Amino acid sequence: MSRLLSKLIWCLWQLFPCTYRTFYGDEFGRIHFAVWKMWFGRCYKINDVIVDTFTTALDDTLRLLDALCAANCTPECCGECCPK
């Protein structure tokens, strides 16, 4: 019954396109900020922006993103660019 209800809620929720946002670091140490819309499991209107963290005028939000990406960096995923 619970499984059927969760599937029904998922189907009803899919009637409305939702916007999702995330950030992640790549293997080169760059921070990406991505925004996309999803409808019935399909992504569209995908915007992936590389955040410039090399500028001297970083605000607190970009400093936090840079610290979070560096904290989640492991040598297995980021290789040599990972700060020790």
What pLDDT does 35 receive?
A: 92
What pLDDT does 40 receive?
A: 80
What pLDDT does 76 receive?
A: 47
What pLDDT does 63 receive?
A: 67
CA distance 43 to 25: 20
Neighbours of 35 (CB within 10 A): 13
Q: Which of 76, 57, 53 is nearest to 65 (CA)?
A: 53
pLDDT tens, position by position, for the chain (84 residues)?
888 999 888 888 778 888 889 888 888 878 888 999 988 888 898 998 887 766 555 566 666 766 776 666 555 444 445 454
Question: How many angstroms separate the Cα of 5 from the Cα of each of 2, 10, 52, 59?
Answer: 5, 9, 44, 44
pTM value is 0.53
In the chain, where the domains are located: 17-81
